[in-house]
Chains A and B, each alone.
Chain A
């Protein structure tokens, strides 16, 4: 019945074991991570499944999903390049870097490349102002920082993802 539980039963049991029986709703965040890892976003069925596991409505789960910017509710690129262009980063050329990167990728912030490998996003402070231009990459498994970037170094990274065929994301 519960697809999420069927696929990740053991892991979910381990997560639930961390919380007291009457506070199962606290497990919502780790369960959302589990769902995210599956295909990079949380679909409507996942919301219902998580709701069922923790005894809350799917609307409740959706409001938590919506609150956090690193949870996603629709499928996009396998790698999300999240470039910080807040003021300190902009002073170190982040804006120009982002523009050039856009030209090289052929997409604007918020868009996804045609091959589905990269989604480009402009984000707020990532706490690495001194190493700008910088971005963080979010893939299905988590986030990683890439600092002191040039468009060339970034494109190399993108090409390496493309070479992998974007598989084991």
Chain B
């Protein structure tokens, strides 16, 4: 009795996992209790071959490839003592048959043998069975060269088949599961990795098995086929060439590909990627990008990536790219010129404009670009703006998640609040990792005006009306600390009800708390009060300044946080700022293309002979067409730089392909302008720009390319030699990046203002609110033809009630009267859209920056 109590005490004192020691292939290893043999073996470099097992999914033991001999120590039943051999070693009893290494968990003293004749024979037999119905078309198979079945057959398989070739199973070889993923039914070995991934991991069960036995086949009944943002990942984990992407199939052989590390900048997650390139005759001997693959980073994207990141890279090698600097000539046309002439003119005009310079930069730029651009602007005393409608960058710098955070650490006892975000649409990987945290037992509170994909995982769901985002968070805070001042009507209304009180209790009792806010229905002003409210909640509950606690802004662009850190702020009235400019320097942004009112402002700048407009861009955008000088730049696949993600992890991306001749990186162009303004900025090596950033921006003092390039051992261990274990995601050999310390972690107490809480705006008619869709029509997405059918059309989304009132049929064309403009759009009808509101997806052709009254006409 006493002993048992003591043991309990010990367990409480040491919450560490219990370790179990066993011997695998004569090597002793200690692993946590509950580990399966395949994983335990992997830890000591012993590869037990698998097909159906995947370290990120639950084992199913379907394929039988991982059969091994398993022995356990024998205990004397009478005494409970281990039975010993004559030599004094413990007697081991092996099982009568082989066991599957993917389902058997480790136990103390276990002995596993994966090299014996019996095991090798079993592997050979499993492979022989698989090959009876698998075509030998490796020479034309996309997986050839990185195929587990091919590799394992070479290693263990039979050289010839005992089965009759003519009786071989044949099936359809080009089955489109939608237009993105193709299925080869002959090659499928029915391991169910893809169906399990879609069901268990990403909760999109849109592919499944139909029929049985030899007729078993993968089917999809969704519309469009294989309707998931995650479909590309199934091609990575498919252990044969059954699933291929339309983008890469028949495009290249894996061994011809060169790999360069990169970081995706489509959203603020910052997924680590690998760019696969090939020099090929059909592209005129150029080095071209063949595919984008995930690269392991267990802090960020694990081994996954979304389809937008995977496929929307074609813009970087578009024919439409700008390749020469241009200036407007006497007859008013843009004419190619030399860099010298263009830069001299820009510098001269900037100098003349002096503090009348207004710079507008887009946050797909790297930190180095943004820094140099900001420095040029600061030198002249101009305004450095960034193109965003989300506020709170300085709050994230102050109370963002602490250094050492990893969303994978969140689980039982922790809480996560996601407010004003359709998370899978805004940042797919954050959706996945929050979903997983909830499955590990973290309490998930989702506050949003309508259902999103995350709702089904929420422990508490809070509903508010668009415009009451901050009020919803303040209602939570009010339930925790009743002294919250200045309560508005909205807060009082939202504080009623048990759900908010229970959610508040869960938050106040949580060990760790992470708050994510997005931009569902918010404009700059509401975003600011929302960010304030979130920070208030975190500070009031003491969840700041430490790892796995703090604020994450689900930014609208890839490097918005970096832009804030480099000192670029959003404009409260961009049209007015542009109108007031003597010279405008627009980089990686297209205000004229985004918004008709801004186009007017830019035209005014252009038409005024006194004023000067410079556009630094990849493409001849609407803004560039109006510019006095257009400066071409390199795409992020052609150069080096860093992005800061929403968790303030700074990461390096590397060049994958050479840039067009005579085209430079944004930081270099800015540095060349600076040179002409007697400002010395680094322009050759981005690491040197970072050194200058480290000197200037205190939060980045510790950041260096060397430290960002440091790697850590990660679990699961994936590497190119044994693609059978984890799939074809790339190993991370180029660095985990560096997570910045928020000011609150450095001991600084955050200076906070109480959130300005507004009530929901009252309008007579309908209110249009901006929302985010992953597949928008941004200039970096549209050039990818593969996604063209899935891009969100120019559309508005109505509630069924409002649609009925206005007699609007689903998908009918309607006229949208908004902010003085009229646009034709498709009307979508979705249950769950609150009555009285019209959702307007961003970047699909209707400009809307903050909630505005709207008129919809059938």
Interface residues of A in 45-67 (CB under 8 A from B): 47-48, 56-63, 65-67
B208 interfacial contact with A, CB 8 Å: yes
Interface residues of B in 178-216 (CB under 8 A from A): 204-212
Which residue of A56, A58, A63, A67 contacts B222 across the interface (Cβ within 8 Å)?
A58
Assess the B207–A59 pair: CB atoms within 8 A: yes
A131 interfacial contact with B, CB 8 Å: no
Taking CB atoms, residues of chain A closer than 8 Å to B219 are 59, 62-63, 66
Contacts A44-B221, A58-B222 known; A63 to B210 CB distance under 8 Å?
yes
- What CA separation (Å) do A61 and B206 show in the bound complex? 10
Taking CB atoms, residues of chain A closer than 8 Å to B220 are 59
- What CA separation (Å) do A62 and B217 show in the bound complex? 12
How many A-B residue contacts, CB cutoff 8 Å? 41
Assess the A47–B210 pair: CB atoms within 8 A: no
- What CA separation (Å) do A48 and B208 show in the bound complex? 15
Within the complex, the shortest CB–CB distance from B214 to chain A, in Å, comes to 13
Contacts A44-B221, A47-B221 known; A60 to B208 CB distance under 8 Å?
yes
| B800 nearest CB neighbor, chain A only | A1
Contacts A56-B205, A57-B205 known; A62 to B222 CB distance under 8 Å?
no
The winner among B205, B208, B211, B219 for most chain A CB atoms within 10 A is: B208
- What CA separation (Å) do A60 and B206 show in the bound complex? 7
Assess the A66–B221 pair: CB atoms within 8 A: no
Contacts A57-B221, A58-B222, A59-B219 known; A66 to B205 CB distance under 8 Å?
no
The winner among A56, A61, A63, A67 for most chain B CB atoms within 10 A is: A63
Which residue of A48, A59, A66 contacts B211 across the interface (Cβ within 8 Å)?
A66
Taking CB atoms, residues of chain B closer than 8 Å to A61 are 221
Taking CB atoms, residues of chain A closer than 8 Å to B205 are 56-57, 59-60
Within the complex, the shortest CB–CB distance from B452 to chain A, in Å, comes to 16
Within the complex, the shortest CB–CB distance from A24 to chain B, in Å, comes to 14
Contact with B along A16-53 (1 / 0, CB 8 A): 00000000000000000000000000001001100000
Number of interface residues of A (CB under 8 A): 14
User: On chain B, which size bracket covers the interface?
Assistant: 10 to 19
Within the complex, the shortest CB–CB distance from B77 to chain A, in Å, comes to 42
- What CA separation (Å) do A61 and B204 show in the bound complex? 14
Assess the B211–A58 pair: CB atoms within 8 A: no
Interface residues of B in 376-405 (CB under 8 A from A): none
Within the complex, the shortest CB–CB distance from A99 to chain B, in Å, comes to 24
The winner among A47, A62, A66 for most chain B CB atoms within 10 A is: A66
| B212 nearest CB neighbor, chain A only | A67
Within the complex, the shortest CB–CB distance from A65 to chain B, in Å, comes to 7
Taking CB atoms, residues of chain B closer than 8 Å to A60 are 205, 208
Assess the B212–A59 pair: CB atoms within 8 A: no
Taking CB atoms, residues of chain A closer than 8 Å to B208 are 57, 59-60, 62-63
- What CA separation (Å) do A63 and B211 show in the bound complex? 7
Assess the A67–B221 pair: CB atoms within 8 A: no
| A56 nearest CB neighbor, chain B only | B205
| A73 nearest CB neighbor, chain B only | B210
- What CA separation (Å) do A44 and B221 show in the bound complex? 8
- What CA separation (Å) do A67 and B216 show in the bound complex? 8
Within the complex, the shortest CB–CB distance from B52 to chain A, in Å, comes to 17
Within the complex, the shortest CB–CB distance from A53 to chain B, in Å, comes to 15
- What CA separation (Å) do A65 and B221 show in the bound complex? 12
Assess the A66–B210 pair: CB atoms within 8 A: yes
| A48 nearest CB neighbor, chain B only | B221
Within the complex, the shortest CB–CB distance from A122 to chain B, in Å, comes to 15
Interface residues of A in 95-148 (CB under 8 A from B): none
Within the complex, the shortest CB–CB distance from B234 to chain A, in Å, comes to 13
Within the complex, the shortest CB–CB distance from B338 to chain A, in Å, comes to 59
Taking CB atoms, residues of chain B closer than 8 Å to A56 are 205
- What CA separation (Å) do A135 and B401 show in the bound complex? 69
- What CA separation (Å) do A65 and B207 show in the bound complex? 14
Which residue of A44, A48, A67 contacts B210 across the interface (Cβ within 8 Å)?
A67
Assess the A62–B210 pair: CB atoms within 8 A: yes
Within the complex, the shortest CB–CB distance from B216 to chain A, in Å, comes to 9
- What CA separation (Å) do A56 and B203 show in the bound complex? 11
- What CA separation (Å) do A59 and B204 show in the bound complex? 10
- What CA separation (Å) do A65 and B209 show in the bound complex? 10
The winner among B205, B207, B219, B221 for most chain A CB atoms within 10 A is: B221
Assess the A62–B211 pair: CB atoms within 8 A: no
Taking CB atoms, residues of chain A closer than 8 Å to B206 are 57, 59
Taking CB atoms, residues of chain B closer than 8 Å to A48 are 221
Assess the A67–B211 pair: CB atoms within 8 A: yes
- What CA separation (Å) do A66 and B210 show in the bound complex? 5
Contact with B along A57-92 (1 / 0, CB 8 A): 111111101110000000000000000000000000
Taking CB atoms, residues of chain B closer than 8 Å to A67 are 209-212
Taking CB atoms, residues of chain B closer than 8 Å to A47 are 221
Assess the B212–A62 pair: CB atoms within 8 A: no
- What CA separation (Å) do A48 and B205 show in the bound complex? 13
Taking CB atoms, residues of chain B closer than 8 Å to A59 are 205-208, 219-222
Assess the A66–B222 pair: CB atoms within 8 A: no
| A44 nearest CB neighbor, chain B only | B221
The winner among B207, B210, B219 for most chain A CB atoms within 10 A is: B210
- What CA separation (Å) do A8 and B211 show in the bound complex? 27
- What CA separation (Å) do A62 and B211 show in the bound complex? 9
Taking CB atoms, residues of chain A closer than 8 Å to B210 are 62-63, 65-67
- What CA separation (Å) do A57 and B225 show in the bound complex? 12
Taking CB atoms, residues of chain A closer than 8 Å to B204 are 57
- What CA separation (Å) do A158 and B221 show in the bound complex? 36
Taking CB atoms, residues of chain B closer than 8 Å to A62 are 208, 210, 219, 221
| B209 nearest CB neighbor, chain A only | A63
Within the complex, the shortest CB–CB distance from B627 to chain A, in Å, comes to 49
| B207 nearest CB neighbor, chain A only | A59
- What CA separation (Å) do A62 and B219 show in the bound complex? 8
Within the complex, the shortest CB–CB distance from A141 to chain B, in Å, comes to 25
| B219 nearest CB neighbor, chain A only | A62
- What CA separation (Å) do A62 and B210 show in the bound complex? 7
- What CA separation (Å) do A62 and B220 show in the bound complex? 8
Within the complex, the shortest CB–CB distance from A159 to chain B, in Å, comes to 34
- What CA separation (Å) do A48 and B223 show in the bound complex? 11
Within the complex, the shortest CB–CB distance from A54 to chain B, in Å, comes to 12
- What CA separation (Å) do A140 and B220 show in the bound complex? 26
- What CA separation (Å) do A140 and B277 show in the bound complex? 57
| B226 nearest CB neighbor, chain A only | A59
The winner among A44, A58, A59 for most chain B CB atoms within 10 A is: A59
Interface residues of B in 217-265 (CB under 8 A from A): 219-222
- What CA separation (Å) do A25 and B402 show in the bound complex? 42
Taking CB atoms, residues of chain A closer than 8 Å to B221 are 44, 47-48, 57-59, 61-62
- What CA separation (Å) do A4 and B372 show in the bound complex? 63
Within the complex, the shortest CB–CB distance from B333 to chain A, in Å, comes to 55
- What CA separation (Å) do A48 and B221 show in the bound complex? 9
- What CA separation (Å) do A143 and B222 show in the bound complex? 32
- What CA separation (Å) do A100 and B284 show in the bound complex? 66
Taking CB atoms, residues of chain B closer than 8 Å to A57 are 204-206, 208, 221-222
Within the complex, the shortest CB–CB distance from B667 to chain A, in Å, comes to 47
Within the complex, the shortest CB–CB distance from B575 to chain A, in Å, comes to 44
| B208 nearest CB neighbor, chain A only | A63
- What CA separation (Å) do A63 and B205 show in the bound complex? 11
Within the complex, the shortest CB–CB distance from B37 to chain A, in Å, comes to 30
- What CA separation (Å) do A65 and B210 show in the bound complex? 7
Within the complex, the shortest CB–CB distance from A45 to chain B, in Å, comes to 11
- What CA separation (Å) do A57 and B212 show in the bound complex? 19
Taking CB atoms, residues of chain B closer than 8 Å to A65 are 210
| B204 nearest CB neighbor, chain A only | A57
The winner among A48, A57, A61 for most chain B CB atoms within 10 A is: A57
| A47 nearest CB neighbor, chain B only | B221
Taking A63-B209, A65-B210 as given, write out 4 further A-B residue pairs in contact, using a Cβ cutoff of 8 Å, ordered by the A residue number: A57-B206, A57-B222, A58-B221, A59-B221
The 5 A-B pairs at the shortest CB distance, nearest first, are namely A66-B210, A63-B208, A58-B221, A59-B221, A59-B208
Q: List 5 A-B contacts (CB under 8 A).
A: A44-B221, A59-B205, A59-B208, A59-B221, A67-B211
A contact set with B: CB distance below 8 Å: 44, 47-48, 56-63, 65-67
B contact set with A: CB distance below 8 Å: 204-212, 219-222
